Homo-oligomer: A and B are copies of this chain.
Amino acid sequence: MAGIIVAIMLIPQGMAYAMLAGLPPQVGLYASILPLVLYACLGTSRVLAVGPVAMDSLLVATSLSLLATPGDSDYLSMALTLALLIGLIEILMGVVRLGFIVNFLSQAVISGFTNGAALVIGVSQVKHLLGVQIPHSQSFFAILHNLLKALPQANGVTLALGVGSTLALLWFSQIMPKLLKRWAVSGAVTMALSRSGPLFVVATTTLLVWLLGWHASAGVGIVGDIPQGLPPIAVPPLTVSLAQKLLPAALTISFVGFMESIAVAKSLASQRRQSIDASQELIALGAANLGAAFTGGYPVTGGFSRSVVNFSAGANTELASIITAILIALVVLVFTPLFYYLPQAALAAIILVAVANLLDFREVFRLWRVSRADGVTALTTFAAVLAIGIGTGIAAGFLVSVLFYLGRTSRPHIAEVGRVGNTEHFRNIKRHPVQTCPGVLAIRVDESLYFANSKYLADYLMQAVAERPTATALVLICAAINHIDGSALKTLEALVEDFREAGITVYLSEVKGPVMDLLEKTGFIDHLGGGERVFLSTYQAITALENP
Chain A residues near B (Cβ < 8 Å)? 100-101, 103-108, 266-267, 269-276, 278, 363, 366-367, 369-371, 373-374, 401-403, 405-408, 410, 450-456, 458-459, 462-463, 465-466, 469, 483, 485-487, 489-491, 494-495, 498-499, 501-502, 518, 521-522
Q: Judging by beta carbons under 8 Å apart, are B370 and A403 in contact?
A: no
Q: Judging by beta carbons under 8 Å apart, are A275 and B463 in contact?
A: yes
Q: Which residue of the partner chain B has the closest CB to A455?
A: B103
A408 to B448, CA, bound (A): 12
Whether A451 contacts B105 in the complex (CB less than 8 A), given A465-B273, A502-B270, comes out as: yes
In the bound complex, residues from chain B placing their C-beta under 8 Å from that of A522 are 366, 369-370
Q: Judging by beta carbons under 8 Å apart, are B374 and A487 in contact?
A: yes
Q: Judging by beta carbons under 8 Å apart, are B106 and A485 in contact?
A: yes
Chief secondary structure at chain A's binding surface: helix
Q: Judging by beta carbons under 8 Å apart, are B466 and A104 in contact?
A: no
Pick the contact of A107: B270, B278, B487 (CB < 8 A).
B487
Pick the contact of A498: B100, B267, B453 (CB < 8 A).
B267
A29–chain B nearest beta-carbon distance, Å: 33
In the bound complex, residues from chain B placing their C-beta under 8 Å from that of A495 are 270
A408 to B483, CA, bound (A): 10
A364–chain B nearest beta-carbon distance, Å: 10
Whether A108 contacts B486 in the complex (CB less than 8 A), given A266-B458, A271-B502, comes out as: yes
In the bound complex, residues from chain B placing their C-beta under 8 Å from that of A405 are 450-452, 485
A487 to B381, CA, bound (A): 15
Q: Judging by beta carbons under 8 Å apart, are A269 and B462 in contact?
A: yes
A409–chain B nearest beta-carbon distance, Å: 9
Q: List 30 A-B contacts (CB under 8 A).
A: A100-B456, A103-B451, A103-B453, A103-B455, A104-B410, A104-B452, A106-B451, A106-B485, A106-B487, A107-B489, A107-B491, A108-B451, A108-B487, A266-B458, A266-B459, A266-B462, A267-B498, A270-B462, A272-B501, A273-B466, A273-B502, A274-B466, A275-B463, A275-B466, A278-B459, A366-B486, A366-B522, A371-B486, A405-B450, A408-B483
